[in-house]
Amino acid sequence: MHEWALAEAVISTVSQIAEKEGLKEVAEVEIKVGELQQIELDILEFALSQLKTLKLKNVKFHIKTVKAELKCRVCGHKWIFRKEKMNEEIAEAIHFVPEIAHTYIKCPKCGSPDFEILKGRGIWLESVRGLR
Amino acid sequence: MADPRIGIIEERLKGVSRIVAVSSGKGGVGKSLIASTLALTLARRNYKVGLFDLDFTSPSTHVILGVEGLQPKEEKGIIPPQVHGLKYMSIVYYSGEYASPLRGVDVSNALIELLAITRWNNLDFLIVDMPPGISDATLDVIRLVKRIEFVVITTPSRLAFETVRKLIDLLSELGIPIVGVVENMKMKESRFIQQQIEGRGIKFWGDIPFDAELEEAIGDVNKLLATQFSKKLGEIEKLKA
């Protein structure tokens, strides 16, 4: 489960931020998850709940998904990534390394693989709040 | 606000004693062959070794090792498969036989992702096959892998060395350890490269003569380890766990 590795990364980074900010206890963490990476939210949430440290014992994780918006660097066309349109193997490769999208996805308008991931790539910490 | 992947990289590498990037300013000098052979040689000496192909747009170590049809195992991250006694990781598990046209920002993101999710566990050496140049991958490895050491590869050509010396000077300026420089594909006697390296106070590991038989050994590790190239690399390699 790749989601466990990402959950560990979240817990580790939140702990580092709490340390740096001098927080005694972390109350809320806002996490954004991009649809390109197709993270299974229930597994991520379960992993986060299992990996909580003492400082995070009462934390509330607010997880928001963000649509993956792509923009062609050649013709400027913008489009939204949809998992349903691709085969399972390719979707899984993108799940592990979202940049693999450049191997399999082309601009629907001009066919170029040279596109920018404007938003919705992977996992991101939006905010960490707690008690000092 | 924060990329959570960065904070876990040190943790993922904590069981690895030494992380050695095989690098060069220039392409086509034999980095991937040296990285693969170095990793195989250390593994045959009973060290625990990993090989990580970081040349995302032009990976080639899988061809050298004859890797086909393997996939990493998923277990709270990804576990690199064992290949000829090495834990082996490459982007080809995901990109297959297709081109991966990545810009710098994508190279950085893919590199961070793989460093954050790959579980190497305990290793004596992690050998990293670097892409050529001093661009994103090199800068990111220096930024993210605090214990990185470099083995730098050049050829006798002044054209290669013109670029390689810039990598050496950059690493020296940044205080990044260079464990040695290898002069590969040597065709005639000259001490030019050795003098240039030693003149900078850096260890010259030695030279490897051009081996016309090497191409025949690609894809077959037993043949590869029997080449003059591998024997010479085994003699000059000075890594100790």
Condensed to tens digits (0 to 9), the pLDDT of residues B164-192 reads 999 999 999 999 999 999 999 999 999 99
Give pLDDT, residue B235.
Answer: 93
Name the residue of chain A whose CA is nearest to B111's CA: A97
Domain that holds residue A11: 2-131
Enumerate the β-bridge partners of residue B78.
B74, B118
Q: Which of B1, B5, B95 sits opposite A9 (nearest CB)?
A: B5
Instruction: For residue B121, give Cα distances in angstroms to A74, A85, B14.
Output: 42, 36, 8
Chain A nearest CA to B13, separation (Å): 13
How close A30 comes to chain B (CA, Å)? 10
Residue for token pair 């290793």: B123
Chain A residue whose CA is closest to B9: A9
Q: Report CB contact under 8 Å: B7, A123.
A: no
CA distance B93 to B62: 10
Cα–Cα distance between A97 and B78 in angstroms, integer? 11
B95 touching chain A per CB within 8 A = yes
Interchain CB contact of A5 with B (< 8 Å): yes
Domain B27-148+211-236 class? Answer: alpha beta
CA–CA gap between residue B62 and residue B65 (Å, rounded) = 5
The two three-digit tokens of residue B142, written as one number = 């220096």
Q: Is A130 exposed, middle or buried (0-12, 13-18, 19+ CB in 10 A)?
A: buried
Q: How many CB atoms lie within 10 A of CB B84?
A: 18
Nearest CA among B96, B163, B172, B176 for reference residue B135: B163
Strand partners, B186: B209
Residue of chain B with shortest Cα separation from A113: B101
pLDDT at A85 over 80: no
Q: Do B4 and A123 count as a contact with CB atoms less than 8 A apart?
A: yes
pLDDT at A1 over 70: no
Cβ <8 Å between B2 and A124: yes
Q: What is the pTM of this model?
A: 0.95
Domain spans in chain B, listed from the N-terminal domain onward: 27-148+211-236
Total domains present in chain A: 1
What is the pLDDT tens value at each position of chain B, 241 positions in all? 789 999 999 999 999 999 999 999 899 999 999 999 999 999 999 999 999 999 999 999 999 999 999 999 999 999 999 999 999 999 999 999 999 999 999 999 999 999 999 999 999 999 999 999 899 999 999 999 999 999 999 999 999 999 999 999 999 999 999 999 999 999 999 999 999 999 999 999 999 999 999 999 999 999 999 999 999 999 998 887 7
CATH number at residue A119: 3.30.2320.80
Q: B116 — contact with chain A (CB < 8 Å)?
A: yes
Residue B214 structure tokens:
């090497």
> Which tens digit of pLDDT belongs to each residue from A42-84?
999 999 999 999 999 999 999 999 999 999 999 999 999 998 8
DSSP 8-state code for residue A36: G
